[in-house]
Amino acid sequence: MLKISLRKKIISLFLFFGLLPLVVTFFLAVTQIQKSLREMANNHLISLADEVMGSVEKTIQSIYTNTELLSANPLIRSKQASNEEKLSELKKIQDFYGIFEDITLIDLDGNVIISTTYQYRGDWKNKQWYQEAKEGKSSISPAYIILGPHKVILSCAAPVKNEEGKIIAVIAGQVNMEKIWETTNGIEVGGGGFAFMVNKEGRFVAYPQKEKILTLMSNVGFKEGVLSKNSGVITYIDENKQKMIGGVASFSEKKLIDQLGWRLIVSQSESKAFALANTFQRQVIIIFLSGLVLLLVISYLLGNKIVVPIKKIITATRRVSLGELEIKIAIKTGDEIEELAESFNKMADDLKISRTGLEESKDVLEIKVAARTRELQELAKSLEGKVGERTKELQKRLNELERFYRLTVGRELKMIDLKKKIKEEQKVCKVDLKDRNL
């Protein structure tokens, strides 16, 4: 049968009952709390994306609002005002708002009537936003590039109506995307986090590196994942093979979703996004390992506190069994083990007293045995003398009996011989008589 030492039993039991709550706590901390921390990190990215997208949406809405205010300007709507007066008014408004790079008034055939800078290059009449404005609906263009100087522009177009409510022209305000980028590029998320936007075609319309603007996203899976949701969290691998996580947000108004369809992503590496969760996990692991080491040390010390005194008692017991009754155990634990040691010491004292008493009794008994032995020896000598005399007497009688026996047996034998001879003589006489009669 396998024997397990008391120290191992104590350490095993202590570790079991000590580790059980520690392991449960570790499991809950690593799974539940870490999950909550990751959810917090995800929600933080989503809320930050919503906040930034809200700022972008306000900027777009102000472009809409200011363009519609331009279209409602009495001087712009007036038939009597000259183009010079209208141009002067547009320049004043451009300086006042400070948001437009250019303001252009276009007739219903797509020809430019007046422009504050004439920076736009292209054919107005084939542009969707112009056509929608011409039909009476304010519209905004996708982000596009103009040359000389090189800029990325948004154009917002609104119908200009006369006093009778008839559309007589279209006014378009060009806004530099720098106004949008001021909002997105100013976002800092932890270490290395950033914000960017893509349009519904999967092209970047805002990105910290300007060379990526209006280029297509290379990661097809990431593109489909981003464009498939208006809000939430998405994970992807960037061009540096780094795991990234991003909070996705979109416009709240359906009009902007339909016309622009932008998605804003606040992106951060998973290692940075979940740094708190990972740090917490490491701390929990350190605490768990520290607790495990502490439990091992405590269980070892506890085992020694119990086992070492017991081993002293066992050793002392073996020495007592060999006759060393003078041994004493000095154990000061303040508990039952100390009481056991005191009981052992008392037992050893009692055994010593008993052995001393036995030794004294042995000495007395030896004296008595010696005296009795001498008495028996003297008695034996006395008996030996008497037995000798009696033996001689008995021997004498025996000799007499033997002589009597021999005499008696000799007579018997002679009588037997005599009887035999008489019988033989009688037989001889009978034979002689028979012979004579014949």
Specify the CATH number for the domain of residue 90: 3.30.450.20
pLDDT in tens, 90-134: 999 888 888 888 899 999 998 999 998 887 667 888 888 899 999
Q: For the chain, what is the domain count? A: 1
Q: Is residue 277 part of a domain?
A: no
User: Which pLDDT score, from 0 to 100, does residue 300 have?
Assistant: 72
User: Which pLDDT score, from 0 to 100, does residue 270 have?
Assistant: 76
Q: Is residue 161 part of a domain?
A: yes
Q: Is residue 158 part of a domain?
A: yes
Q: Is residue 121 part of a domain?
A: yes
User: Which pLDDT score, from 0 to 100, does residue 16 have?
Assistant: 66
Query: Distance between CA atoms of 56 and 62, rounded to whole angstroms?
Result: 10
Q: Which residues of 325-343 are buried (b: 16+ CB within 10 A; e: fewer)?
A: bebebebeeeeebeebbee
User: Which pLDDT score, from 0 to 100, does residue 428 have?
Assistant: 67
Q: Is residue 110 part of a domain?
A: yes
Residues of the chain with pLDDT under 50: 1
Q: Is residue 122 part of a domain?
A: yes
Please work out, in degrees rounded to the nearest 5, the angle formed at the alpha carbon of residue 109 by the alpha carbons of 133 and 143. 45
Residue 145, domain extent: 72-179
Q: Is residue 276 part of a domain?
A: no
User: Which pLDDT score, from 0 to 100, does residue 391 have?
Assistant: 73
Half-sphere exposure of residue 373, counting CA atoms within 13 Å on the CB side? 6
Q: Is residue 408 part of a domain?
A: no
User: Which pLDDT score, from 0 to 100, does residue 32 have?
Assistant: 66
Q: Is 148 helix (H, G, I), strand (E, B) or coil?
A: coil
User: Which pLDDT score, from 0 to 100, does residue 168 have?
Assistant: 92
- In the block, tokens 């004296």 appear at 367
Q: Which residues contact 245 (CB under 8 A, 6 or more apart)?
A: 41, 42, 45, 233, 234, 235, 267, 268, 269, 270, 273, 274
Query: Distance between CA atoms of 262 and 206, rounded to whole angstroms?
Result: 10
**Stated pTM of the model:** 0.61
User: Which pLDDT score, from 0 to 100, does residue 269 have?
Assistant: 78
